[in-house]
Amino acid sequence: MPALVLVRTVSGLEWLAAEEVVAAGHRVVEMSKRQLIVEPTSEVLIEQPPRVADDLFEVHGLAPDPGRSKAGLVDAVRLALQAAPADRGAFAVSASFVGARTFNRFDVEDRVGERIARLTGGRYHSRRHGVAPPDERSEWRVVLDGKTLWIALRPYAVPLHRRTWRRRTVQGSLHPPVAAAMARLARLAPGYDVVDPFCGAGTLLLEAHALESRARYVGLDRDPAAIEAAQENGSTITWRRGDAAYLTTPADRIVTNPPWDRRVHIGDLRPYIRRWHRSLRPGGLLVAILAAHQVGQLARGWQVHARHEIAVAGQHPAIVVAGPSRS
Ligand SMILES: C[S@@+](CC[C@H](N)C(=O)[O-])C[C@H]1O[C@@H](n2cnc3c(N)ncnc32)[C@H](O)[C@@H]1O
């Protein structure tokens, strides 16, 4: 079992990933932008990783962040990585850092890649010249977070956010860890009727089902191609063709990702929002991921319990948790 695990998250969801990790019995020792450092209490963290996490890596080395200079970087990498698991196969390195530096990410990747190749006998594939590394490879992750230089290895063949259930996507399909976060925010319970009136390829309900399999799920979309994609992604859920403006299914939870008016057009959301208001049972909750300009449309008749700004795929939507107001 690794002593420390580096968990990467979507920006704005660090706290929720931390909550999930702690609920599973592990200890979060540090939390910073897009990242948690976790002390696992068992292998279970690797075998059943947090679904809100974007990716997860086992830490093999760390050193104080060397700051701006390239010479400092060379020393820090040597200090951080004294040993690595022998593996003569192909590997790649991906690096990120915060703050101004006199080196770029490729300098970091190549420095660490050369060090790992020397220690393990593996074949390093640099990304510096835009050549994609082979699919069959190990992936190392380096982060300079301003305090520490972390060098870590992904224990999986593919990134954690890539779900085995996902065979198809549609225009605007949601990043699965964001869907997992929304499912957690919905506080699902056995027997609940959970509806997604803009289900697309079904990401939200499939992640919700992974979290709470004893609720009843119905996904609607007006596009037959989306319903077909959702059916291919998961047959445990009822997928129906229909218009969200005519939603009549009573629901304990509406969990949804309407179009943000960028790639998929929707216009005024208020007629849909009025429908959701009527469909929700007493005590019901809406968890919606909305573009910034859409959030204000929830104004009348709703009590907004929480609003979480996130950054995903170059966008800055908000996850809104709201219920019909009593007055
Ligand atoms: C942003 S996508 C949802 C993506 C989905 N969360 C996923 O991960 O695949 C929005 C979906 O709303 C659907 N849609 C647009 N207008 C609709 C309407 N009036 N009623 C039902 N679905 C609609 C589109 O066909 C599209 O699949």
The CATH number assigned to the domain holding 124 equals 3.30.2130.30
Q: How far is the CA of 279 from the centre of ligand 1 (A)?
A: 18
User: Domain of 296?
Assistant: 176-324
- Rg of the Cα atoms in the chain: 22
Query: Quick one: 182 and 317 in the same domain?
Result: yes
Query: Quick one: 299 and 267 in the same domain?
Result: yes
The answer to whether 301 and 324 have CB atoms below 8 angstroms apart is yes
The Cα-based distances of 253 to 183, 240, 270 in angstroms read: 10, 17, 18
Which pLDDT tens digit goes with each residue over 113-170?
A: 999 999 999 999 999 999 999 999 999 999 999 999 999 999 999 999 999 999 999 9
Query: Quick one: 147 and 183 in the same domain?
Result: no
The DSSP H or E segment spanning 94 is strand 90-97
Query: Quick one: 188 and 287 in the same domain?
Result: yes
Structural domains of the chain, count: 2
298 in ligand 1 pocket by Cβ < 6 Å? no
Query: Quick one: 303 and 208 in the same domain?
Result: yes
Query: Quick one: 148 and 211 in the same domain?
Result: no
Atom nearest to 245 CA in ligand 1: 19
> Which of 100, 119, 153 is where one domain is finished?
153
Provide the pLDDT for residue 45: 93
| Predicted TM-score (pTM) of this structure | 0.95
Query: Quick one: 190 and 70 in the same domain?
Result: no
198 in ligand 1 pocket by Cβ < 6 Å? yes
Q: Is the pLDDT of residue 266 over 90?
A: no
Which pLDDT tens digit goes with each residue over 38-48?
A: 999 988 899 99
Q: Is the pLDDT of residue 327 over 80?
A: no
266 in ligand 1 pocket by Cβ < 6 Å? yes
Which residue out of 233, 263, 264 has the highest number of ligand 1 atoms within 8 Å of its CB and is therefore the one to mutate?
A: 264
Query: Quick one: 193 and 146 in the same domain?
Result: no
Q: How far is the CA of 50 from the centre of ligand 1 (A)?
A: 26
Examine residue 256 and state whether it is found in any structural domain, yes or no. yes
Examine residue 164 and state whether it is found in any structural domain, yes or no. no
Atom nearest to 171 CA in ligand 1: 2
Return d(Cα 18, Cα 28) in angstroms, integer: 7
Examine residue 249 and state whether it is found in any structural domain, yes or no. yes
Examine residue 169 and state whether it is found in any structural domain, yes or no. no
Provide the pLDDT for residue 246: 87
Query: Quick one: 112 and 249 in the same domain?
Result: no
233 in ligand 1 pocket by Cβ < 6 Å? no
Q: How far is the CA of 160 from the centre of ligand 1 (A)?
A: 25
